[in-house]
Structure 1
Amino acid sequence: MSFQTHETIQRLWETFLREQLDKLPQGERQAYEVEFEQRLGDLLRSSTPGARGEQGILDLVGLGTKGPVDFADISYPYIEPDFDDAVIPSQLHAAAELYYSWQHERMKVFEVVEVLQRLFRLGKMRVQRGPGAQGLYRLDKLRPLRYTKQDRMIAYRRAFNYGNAQVPAGAVVNRNFHRQLVGFMVSISQYFRDMLIGEVIRGGQLIDQRPFGSIATIQRIGLDMRYALDRSTYGNIFSLAMEVGHYLVQVLEILDTPDIKKAFDANTKWDVIEIVSNRHLGGTAEPSQRAKMAESGRRILKFAADNDFKTVTDPILFQSTIRPLGSHADSWVAAYRMTPEGRGFPGITPALRSVLGSAQTAA
């Protein structure tokens, strides 16, 4: 398709769009606006042949098969925008599972089970033939982890820049992950705060049919976070996340067995973690906050992995899709503020301005 034909199609399409939208009732226009935009993209994409780039260059300089060609007849250099789609979903899902494991690592779950294994071998814990004793024996005998604790710490450092493990030479480290994660959480929270304000001040019929909050901020931070995670979670991250996840399932099942809980006069596995941490590991590490951050953080990261964040997305559809995540984002932020690294959290709006690089307004 020539450059002039491409321009003609766009002009005719805009004229057609105005005429068709003018004929539609006011309440139905919004439902067709996004679809019309997508149809225009499909039309331009299908009408542009898959010609090689060098042919267009040859026509431009007059060395093609047709000889010198007018500028109006030069083929249009349509480039498919695919940067936002150039991610591997399995790596992003693995990163979500690895984040869940990291929060349990911070809760000292893996250290607690190592203490139980040592006490079991030394005969310092009164368990004998119950499911907990059998689980500790199998855990020690089979050694289910191919990857050691050092491997886990390197993976956390590479994917999230968490911990202080030495980064292997040449490895890509996702240094901005935490800043982007906090920004993504607060942008979702701000979106629903704006919607709440919109519900208070709504006055017209059309205002009631669209969201009040801004979608662009969520999309921008989400795309940046997806890209950074994709480029840093190559190599063994997928297999390590799967293995650590299965190991975590085993560990939590062992901690929840009746004989283990009885040995520590505990009611739940979380009581076991707290008691063992206080007795042998120098104190607990915010189990309540970490558990909520693990749950909500994994859910948010999976949403970011599966959402394409299209620029022309329907605001109503986006609102329906993201609505279940509003409570997860607020829960994560509330839990994060109670952790040592989150006690300096400035608040939703200042944090969002910091992530977006906006200057703070003077009081």
Structure 2
Amino acid sequence: MTNSATHDALERLLQRFLRDELPNLSPSERAAVESQFEDRFRNLVDSSTTATGYSFPNLIGFGPEGVKPFDDLPYPRLRADFDESVTPSQIHAAAELYFIYQSERMKVFQVVDVLRRLFAHGRMKIQRGPGARGLYILEKWKPLRYSRRDRMIAYRRVFNYGSMPAPQGAVVNRNFHFQFVAFNSALAQYFRDLVIAEVVRGSSEIADRPFGTIATVQRLGTDLRYAVDRASYGNVLALAQEVGNYLQECMELLDAPDIKKSFDAMTKWDVIEAVSIRHLGGMAELSQRAKMADAGRRILQFIASNDFKSGLDPDLFRSEAKPIASQAEAWIAAYRLTEEGRRFPGVNRNLRWALGLGDRTAPARISA
């Protein structure tokens, strides 16, 4: 049983050992020893503390020995497990849903519906090719059970995108877009500051911390993963799985040679563009949305798999986050070229903008 006196003694022993031994170690060895001894100390205290439920009865006098002095009571071990209370599979489903949403903005599902209608009405000169067979199968079996309304409700719940009213009592992630933009901006800014630090100091080996701090990135990432997790209950996982597979079939269908030939198209994106212009009132932002879909999905997958541990070594954080920083830069570059992203104030002012403290007032509902 570890009481308060024992806990304090262990703290003093650890501090004395570090003061005596750390000056004799190199900087790299010193960082490794600090981390190992901190983890070892926590494990030692946890393993020597009695099970929960024994100390409180003793404290109030209900234990077998009556009321005990404070010094004889076990030291309370209050575990901070909030950051671990999310369900990664739900956030992964939200990542796929984000990709699906951007495809929805590119009018992929509407284009396929137009092709099915044109095929049924005999207004496309195809009959025996793989595209004709794919349209026949879609028309006959109608594999997608989740309608456009179902998808719009899911986008509203998880991302607060669109104008579809959320079901009564459902959790709506109203701050997703602000948090997502702020996270991407903070991650991009961190690596920009790192480059500046290396240029100014002349070497990446001098002072291993850049001008920026990883605390902002970790805080935004933790808040974002928690908000996405609490808003993605219900059918989001099933919807992302089903609609994701349907979207894959749609993209393969649009790439069929007979369908591309009927629209004088070279690629499936040319088909989407031609059908959108002729039948859907204009082309969507294909280039920007395609990049936002891919980069946004990878960023959310990174957030789902990362626990954003506060004591993480800066070098380890950089190695893990560097590929995602490139995706964040790509997402910001594409977002700023969309209609909604033109008012984005830029990376340097992102936090004030995300918190509503900037010069511009953001709308309550965002379609990004």
In the alignment, is residue 26 of structure 1 matched against residue 46 of structure 2?
Answer: no
Q: 1:260 to 1:358 in 2, by over 3 A?
A: same
Aligned to 2:300: 301
Q: Which range moves more in the overlay, 94-103 or 74-83? A: 74-83
Give yes or no for contact 1:99–1:297 (8 Å, CA) kept in 2: yes
Question: Residues 167-203 of structure 1, C-alpha deviation per residue, up to 9 Å, x if partnerless?
Answer: 1111111111111110110011111111011111115
Give yes or no for contact 1:211–1:316 (8 Å, CA) kept in 2: no
* Aligned ranges 1:32-181 → 2 under 5 Å: 32-52=33-53, 55-181=54-180
Kindly, what percent of the aligned residue pairs are identical? 57
* Aligned ranges 1:194-205 → 2 under 5 Å: 194-202=193-201
Aligned to 1:288: 287
Q: Look up the equivalent residue of 2:23 and give its one-letter code.
A: D
Tell me the TM-score normalised to structure 2 length.
Answer: 0.93
Q: 1:205 to 1:194 in 2, by over 3 A?
A: closer
Q: 1:29 to 1:140 in 2, by over 3 A?
A: same
Give 5+ residue unaligned stretches, structure 1: none
Question: Residues 107-137 of structure 1, C-alpha deviation per residue, up to 9 Å, x if partnerless?
Answer: 0000000000000000111111110111111
Give yes or no for contact 1:211–1:315 (8 Å, CA) kept in 2: no
Q: Look up the equivalent residue of 1:144 and give its one-letter code.
A: P
The separation in 2 between residues aligned to 1:313 and 1:356, in whole angstroms, is 26
The separation in 1 between residues aligned to 2:106 and 2:94, in whole angstroms, is 18
Q: Look up the equivalent residue of 2:40 and give its one-letter code.
A: R
Give yes or no for contact 1:161–1:174 (8 Å, CA) kept in 2: yes
Q: How many residues align?
A: 358
Aligned to 2:324: 325
Tell me the CA shift for residue 287 of structure 1: 0.4
Tell me the CA shift for residue 206 of structure 1: 5.2
Q: Look up the equivalent residue of 1:108 and give its one-letter code.
A: K
* Aligned ranges 1:202-241 → 2 under 5 Å: 202=201, 207=206, 209-241=208-240
Tell me the CA shift for residue 359 of structure 1: 7.8
Give yes or no for contact 1:2–1:72 (8 Å, CA) kept in 2: yes
Question: Residues 201-254 of structure 1, C-alpha deviation per residue, up to 9 Å, x if partnerless?
Answer: 115785254444311111000000110111110111001000010000000000
RMSD of the alignment, in Å? 1.7
Q: 1:357 to 1:311 in 2, by over 3 A?
A: farther
The separation in 1 between residues aligned to 2:358 and 2:121, in whole angstroms, is 59
Tell me the CA shift for residue 165 of structure 1: 1.1
The separation in 2 between residues aligned to 1:240 and 1:100, in whole angstroms, is 13
The separation in 2 between residues aligned to 1:234 and 1:67, in whole angstroms, is 47
Q: Look up the equivalent residue of 2:45 and give its one-letter code.
A: L
Tell me the TM-score normalised to structure 1 length.
Answer: 0.94
The separation in 1 between residues aligned to 2:97 and 2:91, in whole angstroms, is 10
Aligned to 2:11: 10
Name the SS for the 1:324 alignment partner: helix
Q: Which range moves more in the overlay, 284-293 or 26-35? A: 26-35
